[in-house]
C-alpha cells in the first residue's frame, strides 16, 4: 500500500469554479462550499486515520501490494468464481489457458504462511540447547535398540541329554510345561512351579528321539528309537496309545490339530489322526535320507519337511508327493520355522557344510533371501510378538542369535553353551526361549518383548537365577 497520510476530498463538479470567473464570484462560491473547499496552502486531514506502512516488510509474508497485482487478482478471482458458480461457459469469454494462468497468478493471502527464512527449528524452542548444535542436522531422538540380556536367567542340569543333531528332544506346551527327553525317559518341568515329573521310561532297549506337544491340551507325542510313536496324556501321566509304521527311529514330530506328522530315519513321513483306529492315514515319500525337521504352518495348510538329503519340501493337506521342492541348501535341513506374521513365509537353516538361513515364499514359490551365519544352523523359531527370530548354532560357534527380519540385523548374540545348541523351544507367552546342548544343560533366556510392552527392558525371570537339576 502507498504512503497515504493525506487524502483530499474534491468538491462536487457542479460547484467547481471556472478559472475564467471573477474574483467576487470565486469568493461567494468559496463561502457556499466552505465544507468542501481544499486550500492549496494548508493540509487538511480526514476524520479517518490510515497509518503509514512504509516500514512494513511484506516480503516476509509473500504479499505483493502493487495495484497491478491487486487488479489482476480481483479479475482472476471473479473469473474463477463465475466458473465455479455457473460452469465453464459462464467464464466471460476467458479461455481455459487464460483461466489457468490467472489462477496461478493469484498471490497467497495467508499472512501466517511464513517464508522459509522465517522458520525456526523446533529444537530452538528447547529449554536446553547443546553447544554442538549443527545447522541443517536433524536432531530428532533416535529410538534406542531393545536390550536383550546376554545371560540366561535359569540353568537346568539335564543329564543324558544326547548330542545328536537329528533328534528333537525339547518342547514347551501351551500350558507352560517343558518336556525333555533324557536317555530312555521323558521328564516334565512345570515352568510355574518348577516341579519336575517323570512321565515315562521306555526301558533299556529303547530311547527317546523326539517329543512334541499338541497345539492345545495336554497330549504329548514321543518318538522312539524303535520306530514307534507313543501318545501320552501328561495331565494323568497315562499312555493313550502306541502307533507304528516307521522301521527306524522317529526324530521329528509336528502337530496340526488332531493330525500328527512323524518323520523317521526310514526317509518317510506318516500322517496320523489320533481319532482314527489306524496307525496312520497316509504316507509321504520324497526324501532320500533321514527326515530330521517337520513343521506345520500356522493355518495348518502346509507341512514343511527337511532331511539329511539337503532338501526342503512343502506338502499340502492332501498330497502324498511334495508340492514344492527347494534344493539350495548344501547340508542337512533340520531348522524350519513358519512366520506367524506373513502367510507363506518360511525360514530354513542348513547344517555344517551350509551354515545359511534361507527365506522362502511358498505362496509365490520363490526364494527371498539368504544369510550366511558362519555356523551350523540347528534350530529356528519365530517370535509371535515382534517380527524377529532366533537361531541356534553348532559348529563352530555354539551361539544363539536374535535377528530382526527382514533386515537380518543381529539384535543379540548369546553364548554360554559349550556344545552344539541342538534343541530349542519357546514359551507360550512368546518371550522366553529354552536351549539345550550336549553339555547336558538347559538354559532359559529372555529374548523377546511381551505383546503389550514391546519396548520393555524388564528382565523377566531374573529373580529366579539359579541352577537346578531337571531330574
First to last CA, the chain: 94
Residue 193 maps to a domain: yes
Beta bridge partners of 273: 259
What pLDDT, on the 0 to 100 scale, is given for residue 57? 60
Residue 269 maps to a domain: yes
Residue 270 maps to a domain: yes
Number of domains in the chain: 1
* Among the listed residues 68, 51, 59, the one whose alpha carbon sits nearest the alpha carbon of residue 111: 59
Tell me the C-alpha distance between 220 and 279, whole Å: 16
pLDDT tens per residue across all 471 residues of the chain: 444 444 443 444 444 444 444 455 555 455 555 555 555 555 555 556 666 665 556 555 555 555 555 566 677 778 777 777 776 665 555 555 554 554 455 444 443 444 444 444 444 444 444 444 445 545 455 566 788 999 999 999 999 999 999 999 999 999 999 999 999 999 999 999 999 999 999 999 999 999 999 999 899 999 999 999 999 999 999 999 999 999 999 999 999 999 999 999 999 999 999 999 999 999 999 999 999 999 999 999 999 999 999 999 999 988 899 999 999 999 999 999 999 999 999 999 999 999 999 999 999 999 999 999 999 999 999 999 999 999 999 998 999 999 999 999 999 999 999 999 999 999 999 999 999 999 999 999 999 998 875 544 433 444 345 567 777
Q: Is-above-0.75 flag for pTM?
A: no
Residue 239 maps to a domain: yes
Strand extents, DSSP E, 225-365: 229-233, 238-243, 250-256, 259-264, 268-273, 282-285, 291-296, 302-307, 312-316, 324-326, 333-338, 345-350, 356-361
Do the strands 238-243 and 250-256 form a parallel or antiparallel pair, or are they unpaired?
unpaired
3-state secondary structure of 318: coil
Inter-residue contact 385 to 430 (CB < 8 Å): yes
Structural domain including 435 reads 154-450
Return the half-sphere exposure (C-beta side, CA atoms, 13 A cut-off) of residue 109: 7
Inter-residue contact 356 to 372 (CB < 8 Å): yes
Residue 320 maps to a domain: yes
Residue 140 maps to a domain: no
How far is CA 365 from each of CA 254, 313, 314, 315, 322, rounded to the nearest angstrom?
Answer: 23, 11, 10, 13, 13
What pLDDT, on the 0 to 100 scale, is given for residue 58? 55
> Tell me, what CATH number does 268's domain have?
2.130.10.10
Residue 253 maps to a domain: yes
Beta bridge partners of 360: 346, 367
Residue 104 maps to a domain: no
C-alpha Rg value of the chain to the nearest Å: 41
Cell of 31: 463561502
Beta bridge partners of 388: 404
Amino acid at each position: 500500500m502507498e504512503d497515504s497520510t493525506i487524502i483530499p476530498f474534491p468538491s462536487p463538479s457542479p460547484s467547481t469554479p471556472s478559472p475564467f470567473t471573477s474574483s467576487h464570484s470565486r469568493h461567494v462560491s468559496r463561502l457556499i462550499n466552505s465544507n468542501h473547499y481544499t486550500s492549496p496552502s494548508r493540509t487538511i486531514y480526514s476524520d479517518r486515520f490510515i497509518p503509514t506502512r512504509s516500514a512494513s516488510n511484506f516480503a516476509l509474508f509473500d504479499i505483493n501490494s502493487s495495484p497491478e497485482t491487486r487488479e489482476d487478482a480481483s479479475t482472476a478471482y471473479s473469473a474463477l468464481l463465475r466458473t465455479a458458480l455457473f460452469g465453464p461457459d459462464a467464464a466471460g469469454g476467458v479461455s481455459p489457458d487464460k483461466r489457468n494462468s490467472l489462477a496461478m497468478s493469484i498471490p497467497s493471502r495467508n499472512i501466517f504462511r511464513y517464508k522459509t527464512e522465517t522458520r525456526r527449528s523446533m529444537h530452538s524452542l528447547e529449554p536446553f540447547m547443546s553447544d554442538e548444535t549443527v545447522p541443517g542436522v536433524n536432531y530428532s531422538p533416535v529410538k534406542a535398540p531393545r536390550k536383550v540380556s546376554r545371560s540366561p536367567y535359569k540353568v537346568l542340569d539335564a543329564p543324558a541329554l544326547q548330542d545328536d543333531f537329528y533328534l528333537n528332544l525339547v518342547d514347551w506346551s501351551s500350558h507352560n510345561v517343558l518336556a525333555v527327553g533324557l536317555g530312555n525317559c521323558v521328564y516334565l518341568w512345570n515352568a510355574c512351579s518348577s516341579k519336575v515329573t517323570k512321565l515315562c521310561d521306555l526301558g533299556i532297549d529303547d530311547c527317546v528321539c523326539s517329543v512334541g506337544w499338541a497345539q492345545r491340551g495336554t497330549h504329548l507325542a514321543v518318538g522312539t528309537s524303535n520306530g514307534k510313536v507313543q501318545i501320552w496324556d501328561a495331565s494323568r501321566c497315562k499312555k493313550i496309545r502306541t502307533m507304528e509304521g516307521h522301521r527306524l527311529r522317529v526324530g521329528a514330530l509336528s502337530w496340526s490339530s488332531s493330525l500328527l506328522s512323524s518323520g523317521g530315519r526310514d526317509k518317510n513321513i506318516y500322517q496320523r489322526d489320533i481319532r482314527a483306529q489306524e496307525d496312520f492315514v497316509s504316507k509321504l515319500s520324497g526324501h532320500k535320507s533321514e527326515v530330521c525337521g517337520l513343521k506345520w504352518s500356522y493355518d495348518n495348510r502346509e507341512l514343511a519337511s527337511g532331511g539329511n538329503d539337503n532338501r526342503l519340501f512343502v506338502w499340502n493337506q492332501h498330497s502324498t508327493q511334495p508340492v514344492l521342492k527347494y534344493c539350495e541348501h548344501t547340508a542337512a535341513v533340520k531348522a524350519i520355522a513358519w512366520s506367524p506374521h506373513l502367510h507363506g513365509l518360511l525360514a530354513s537353516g542348513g547344517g555344517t557344510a551350509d551354515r545359511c538361513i534361507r527365506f522362502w515364499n511358498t505362496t509365490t514359490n520363490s526364494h527371498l533371501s539368504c544369510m550366511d551365519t558362519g555356523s551350523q544352523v540347528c534350530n529356528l523359531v519365530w517370535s509371535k510378538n515382534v517380527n524377529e527370530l532366533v537361531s541356534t548354532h553348532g559348529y563352530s560357534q555354539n551361539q544363539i542369535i536374535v535377528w530382526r527380519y527382514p533386515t537380518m540385523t543381529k539384535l543379540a548374540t548369546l553364548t554360554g553353551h559349550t556344545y552344539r545348541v541342538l534343541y530349542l523351544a519357546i514359551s507360550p507367552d512368546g518371550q522366553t526361549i529354552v536351549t539345550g546342548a550336549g553339555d547336558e544343560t538347559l538354559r532359559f533366556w529372555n529374548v523377546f518383548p511381551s505383546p503389550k510392552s514391546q519396548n520393555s527392558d524388564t528382565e523377566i525371570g531374573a529373580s529366579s537365577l539359579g541352577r537346578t537339576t531337571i531330574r
